A = this chain, B = another copy of it.
Amino acid sequence: IPFFMVHLKAITAALNQNVIKLETSKVLSVLEKQVLAKIHRMIFQCDDKFYQTYVQNTQTALGTFTSGGTTANITALWVARNKIFTPKAGFSSIEEDGFLAAMAAHDLDRVVVIVSKRGHFSLRKAGGLLGIGNANVIAVDVDHHLTIDIDKLEALIQDLKNQGRTKIAAIVGIAGATETGMIDPLPTLADICERENIHFHVDASWGGPVLMSERYRDLLAGIERADSVTIDCHKQFYMPMTSGMIYFKDPNAMDAIVYHARYVNRKGSLDLGIKTLEGSREASSLILDAALKIMGTRGYGLMIEHGIETARAFAEKIKNRSQFELVSSPTLNILTYRAVPATIRADLDAATAQGQTERVRDLNRTLDEININLQRIQRETGKSFVSRTRLKRMPEDDYNVVVLRSVIMNPLTTPDILDEILDEQESILSVLYQ
């Protein structure tokens, strides 16, 4: 992270303001609303009149800072869950009366959330926490673009409708999958959500800051049609651990989760603690506001562009080396690849061509071993580090393979450094597997 971030964090700690209420937050409550509006505008591009009305409106909220992407996603699904249970005779809200009463009042047996298999695990966690159940956070397969398979999504929606007594609380689009950096087709998801009247949440924890790049912001086209958007501060905003943000297009959406405490929050005051999952909060807005002034959105944009373009150059390098296979191309600054020694590659190609699925699987298991060892040895050597995860190589595979995952965040990363990483991996491989 940039050196000044540490100083900003120290200043925030020295001030030690608590954003939960105006008395302990002072002008930082005003600042937070201003910063939130700035990012809200970046996402939703509402008109001037909208922001004149809502930036400092004490009755509404354009979003909030959270402790991270996880609580931001939980907040989004919390609001989405509550929204579907409108008041009825003898029923006020799910928040007040509980899940069981809500389902009875609305004649429902099942509430689900839909996301692709690349969805962050915080969404499953949110399902468990909110009483929806992990099993009802339905993961749709990805297609050959490694993004949500729209045909399967449509079929699932039809299925759920046919089942009856089932409500889809939200469809989640991913803007920068944690593992692959992939971006779901947001405009298509927006169309579907509009047609079906479903809450459209975009998890842009990773990808959100790409909006600051003139060159690449179109990759996120469609995000302006979301009902809610998660963005992390400690990822591509380069802020210290930990801070996230959740945004809602509708300035009244967060009324679904409003809480008051007598000693804290007085109605109609500028107390920001009334619509948040967290209670006391530090003033992360101060850090983001200062960073946006120090580097400017243009400065952030340059770092984002460097990351994407360097990742794309890295992908070319990987493709040009016979010992490696690119598994997912970098839409953003994340790519995955794996080592495939030449002899195994020949066997794998042959087995694949002949449809020997057992043999293909065995060879992939061997490659898993090799890549696990490769990653471990490189990490322990300490010169450089790539993380590893498991992914389906092809959507039709029924198993995951081990892949190496590279994220280009550091603006000082040059193509030469990437060559050195691959060189080191090749030399480890030559020892491991001769």
Give chain B residues whose Cβ lies under 8 Å from the Cβ of A379: 23
Which of B120, B135, B280 lies in contact with A241, CB distance below 8 A?
A: B280
Within 8 A of B (CB), among A245-298: 257, 259-264, 277-283
- In the complex, the answer to whether A134 meets B95 with C-beta atoms within 8 Å is yes
- In the complex, the answer to whether B242 meets A282 with C-beta atoms within 8 Å is yes
Roughly how many angstroms separate A109 CA and B99 CA in the complex, as a whole number?
10
Give chain B residues whose Cβ lies under 8 Å from the Cβ of A110: 98, 100
Within 8 A of B (CB), among A93-108: 94-101, 103
Which of B133, B261, B278, B385 lies in contact with A121, CB distance below 8 A?
A: B261
Kindly supply a per-residue 1/0 record for chain A positions 86-127, scoring 1 wherever the CB is within 8 Å of any chain B CB and 0 otherwise. Answer: 000000001111111101000001110000000011101101
Say whether, besides A13-B6, A259-B124, A280 and B389 are in contact (CB < 8 Å). Answer: no
**Interface hub of A16, A97, A280, A379 (most chain B Cβ within 10 A):** A280
Query: Is residue A390 within 8 Å, beta carbon to beta carbon, of the partner chain?
Result: yes
Kindly supply a per-residue 1/0 record for chain A positions 8-22, scoring 1 wherever the CB is within 8 Å of any chain B CB and 0 otherwise. Answer: 011011101110000
Kindly supply a per-residue 1/0 record for chain A positions 118-158, scoring 1 wherever the CB is within 8 Å of any chain B CB and 0 otherwise. Answer: 00111011011111111110000000000000000000000
Interface size band for A: 35 or more
Which of B14, B71, B387 lies in contact with A278, CB distance below 8 A?
A: B71
Query: Is residue A225 within 8 Å, beta carbon to beta carbon, of the partner chain?
Result: no
- In the complex, the answer to whether B282 meets A17 with C-beta atoms within 8 Å is no
Give chain B residues whose Cβ lies under 8 Å from the Cβ of A406: none
Give chain B residues whose Cβ lies under 8 Å from the Cβ of A12: 241
Which of B10, B280, B389 lies in contact with A68, CB distance below 8 A?
A: B280
Roughly how many angstroms separate A257 CA and B69 CA in the complex, as a whole number?
18
Query: Is residue A70 within 8 Å, beta carbon to beta carbon, of the partner chain?
Result: yes
Query: Is residue A314 within 8 Å, beta carbon to beta carbon, of the partner chain?
Result: no
Query: Is residue A78 within 8 Å, beta carbon to beta carbon, of the partner chain?
Result: yes
Residue of B nearest to A287 (CB): B13
Min CB–CB distance A379 → chain B (angstroms) = 7
- In the complex, the answer to whether A241 meets B278 with C-beta atoms within 8 Å is no
Residue of B nearest to A241 (CB): B282
**Interface hub of A110, A263, A379, A390 (most chain B Cβ within 10 A):** A263
Give chain B residues whose Cβ lies under 8 Å from the Cβ of A261: 120-121
Give chain B residues whose Cβ lies under 8 Å from the Cβ of A131: 94, 98-100, 130-131
Say whether, besides A240-B13, A240-B16, A257 and B128 are in contact (CB < 8 Å). Answer: yes
Query: Is residue A179 within 8 Å, beta carbon to beta carbon, of the partner chain?
Result: yes
**Interface hub of A18, A67, A109, A390 (most chain B Cβ within 10 A):** A67
- In the complex, the answer to whether B241 meets A94 with C-beta atoms within 8 Å is no
Give chain B residues whose Cβ lies under 8 Å from the Cβ of A23: 379, 385, 387
- In the complex, the answer to whether A128 meets B95 with C-beta atoms within 8 Å is yes
Query: Is residue A60 within 8 Å, beta carbon to beta carbon, of the partner chain?
Result: no
Roughly how many angstroms separate A121 CA and B264 CA in the complex, as a whole number?
10
Give chain B residues whose Cβ lies under 8 Å from the Cβ of A56: none
- In the complex, the answer to whether B96 meets A99 with C-beta atoms within 8 Å is no
Kindly supply a per-residue 1/0 record for chain A positions 395-416, scoring 1 wherever the CB is within 8 Å of any chain B CB and 0 otherwise. Answer: 0000010000100000000000
Query: Is residue A5 within 8 Å, beta carbon to beta carbon, of the partner chain?
Result: yes
Between-chain CB contacts (< 8 Å), 6 pairs: A97-B135, A98-B110, A100-B131, A121-B261, A130-B130, A263-B388
**Which 9 residue pairs across A and B have the least CB separation, nearest first?**
A98-B133, A131-B131, A70-B279, A99-B131, A263-B389, A67-B67, A241-B282, A10-B10, A99-B99
Which residues of chain A have a CB within 8 Å of any CB of chain B?
Answer: 1, 5-7, 9-10, 12-14, 16-18, 23, 67-71, 74, 78, 94-101, 103, 109-111, 120-122, 124-125, 127-136, 178-179, 232, 234, 240-242, 257, 259-264, 277-283, 379, 385, 387-390, 400, 405
